[in-house]
Chain A
Amino acid sequence: MRHAGHFVRLLALVVITVVGFLYVRSLVVPKDFGVKGHFRLSAIDDEGKREARHIGSDACAECHDEIGAAWKAGKHHIPQCENCHGPGLLHTKVVAEDSTAGYTDKILKQFPKAINPGTGITECKWCHLKTFERPSSLKYIVNVEKHITEHQGTFSPASRCIDCHNPHTTVVKR
């Protein structure tokens, strides 16, 4: 037994390593890791904590009730307000002067009321510019210049769709 000291020291080293590993592991690995699989369970709640930025057209109509009612009754009621105007969450916060307003996307830098007022032509083109792949049932425009002259208008580069069409109801103004 004259070499027993070697084994004791080796055993002590192994014990220290194992205990140390388990201790560090308990500090590093979150408590809820591995409860339902190889992941942190509270990550699901973390993901769900984000605010919904698209608030829905009904929420828009709470303040903009006249436009909302006309939009709902009109032919253009399928595309939602936020399709053209962008998400409304920050707009409601800015209008309500809520200091917790907090997403720093370009929309806030771009528009003072944190909502896209619309250019009157870009938004229309997204759906109504003719492309070959679009179904023929969709009302689209092949050539804006031709379209305006055909309807006894005078085309200018500054011509906008909303000069003649109400974008909320599709009713032609003149």
Chain B
Amino acid sequence: MSPITPDDVTRREFLETVAKTGGQSFLFGSLFVNTALLRLPQAGADPKSRAEAEVGKGIVYGFVVDTTKCIGCGSCVRACRAENGVPEGYNRTWVEQYTFYPDGEVFVNSPNGGENGFADPAPTRNKPTGPEAPMRGFFVPKLCNHCIDTPCIQVCPVGASFKTDEGVVLVDHERCVGCGYCVQACPFGSRYLNPETGTADKCTWCHHRVIKGLLPACVVSCPAEARIFGNVSDPESTISRILATNRVQVLKSFLGTRPRTRYIGLDSEVI
């Protein structure tokens, strides 16, 4: 230890230097953060304009759910289970029943994911007639949103979750170690741990059918044409025309995950 000499840094100098460099780094840092923030997807961004931005980029798949057409028959749920061998008690797609009562109560019901259809009225509140009869109601089919900015892929520690060039989010069942991080990360509850394989599982938009030129099983089986699947990059495709002529919305847009599954006629109560 050498004794302190006047050549050493005084307290004043030290504090000045700290303030200067600190201030500079704060300025630069905030500049960087600002630009980074600007690049973030805007939460309320119109999903249709994103579809338009994808035109001519090769095949980019999209999915539209028309909630105004869904009759809640559960055909999609049964078809999905059979097509993909989804174990009992788990769902890759499911249908939710929303019932609105005059006193402001909203009941959301999805018995077995809607696999066996729905009872009338929702069994949670058995007042079918009179002033307490439900005012309005509808069905909302749910499935994987195949987000552009996926939380589920980010958290995978082994690279078992990924996105193809067509925008489909898939699971590599050979690499997956079944840690379940992605199941927790998905804000839409689209994933589950398959008890038969021990790996994470999810809706693939029936990738194995689509590459054979077929439509996803839920789309084929829907008798109400409430599910539309296709190439959003092709402006002549059915889905592009539907996206161009309808007001569409996505689930939980405030999370900024930019879902590729878009909804027609979504109510504000639907989350």
A interface residues, Cβ below 8 angstroms from B: 33, 36-40, 43-44, 46-54, 56, 78-80, 82-83, 86-87, 103, 105, 107, 125-127, 129-135, 138
Please name the residue on chain B nearest to A54 by beta carbon.
B217
Determine the chain A residues whose CB is within 8 A of the CB of B173 once the complex forms: 43, 46
CA distance A133 to B100 in the complex (A): 10
Return A90 CB to nearest CB of chain B, in Å. 10
- In the complex, chain B residues 197-219 whose Cβ is within 8 Å of any chain A Cβ: 204, 206-209, 211-212, 214, 217
Task: Contacts A44-B164, A103-B85 given; indicate if A133 touches B211 (C-beta within 8 A).
Answer: no
Distance in angstroms between the alpha carbons of A41 and B47 in the assembled complex: 29
- Whether B164 contacts A52 by the Cβ 8 Å rule is no
A114 to chain B, nearest CB (A): 11
A-B pair count, CB < 8 Å, reads 125
* A50:B72 contact, CB within 8 angstroms: no
B: residues with CB less than 8 A from A are: 69, 71-75, 78-79, 82-83, 85, 97-99, 116-121, 128, 134, 137-139, 159-165, 170, 172-175, 204, 206-209, 211-212, 214, 217, 220-221, 223, 225
Chain B neighbourhood of A50, CB < 8 A: 208
In this complex, the member of A86, A105, A134, A138 whose beta carbon has the largest number of chain B beta carbons within 10 angstroms is A134
Say yes or no: A54-B83 contact (C-beta < 8 A), given A37-B163, A40-B159, A133-B118.
yes
Task: Report Cα–Cα, A78/B120, bound state, in Å.
Answer: 24
- Beta-carbon contact of A127 and B73 below 8 Å: yes
User: Contacts A43-B170, A54-B83; is A80 near B220 (CB within 8 Å)?
Assistant: yes
Contact pick for B117, options A52, A80, A125, CB 8 Å: A125
Interface SS of chain A: helix, strand, loop or mixed? loop
8 Å CB contact of B159 from A33, A52, A130, A134 = A33
> Which of A33, A49, A79 counts the most B-chain CB atoms under 10 A from its CB?
A79
Q: Which residues of A contact B134 (CB under 8 A)?
A: 132
**Shortest distance between the CB of B164 and any CB in chain A (Å):** 6
22 pairs, A vs B, C-beta closer than 8 Å: A37-B163, A48-B212, A52-B208, A52-B209, A52-B212, A54-B82, A54-B83, A54-B209, A54-B214, A56-B214, A78-B225, A79-B75, A83-B223, A86-B82, A87-B83, A107-B82, A126-B117, A127-B71, A127-B223, A131-B121, A132-B128, A135-B71
Chain A residues positioned under 8 Å from B78 (CB to CB): 83
Bound-complex Cα distance A78 to B71 (A): 14
In the complex, A78→B225 CA distance in Å?
9
Contacting pair A133 B98 (CB below 8 A): yes
Q: Which residues of B contact A103 (CB under 8 A)?
A: 85
Nearest-CB residue, chain A, relative to B170: A47
Least distance between B188 CB and chain A CB atoms (Å) = 20
CB-CB under 8 A from A105, the residues of chain B are: 82, 85
B159 touches A38 (CB 8 A): yes
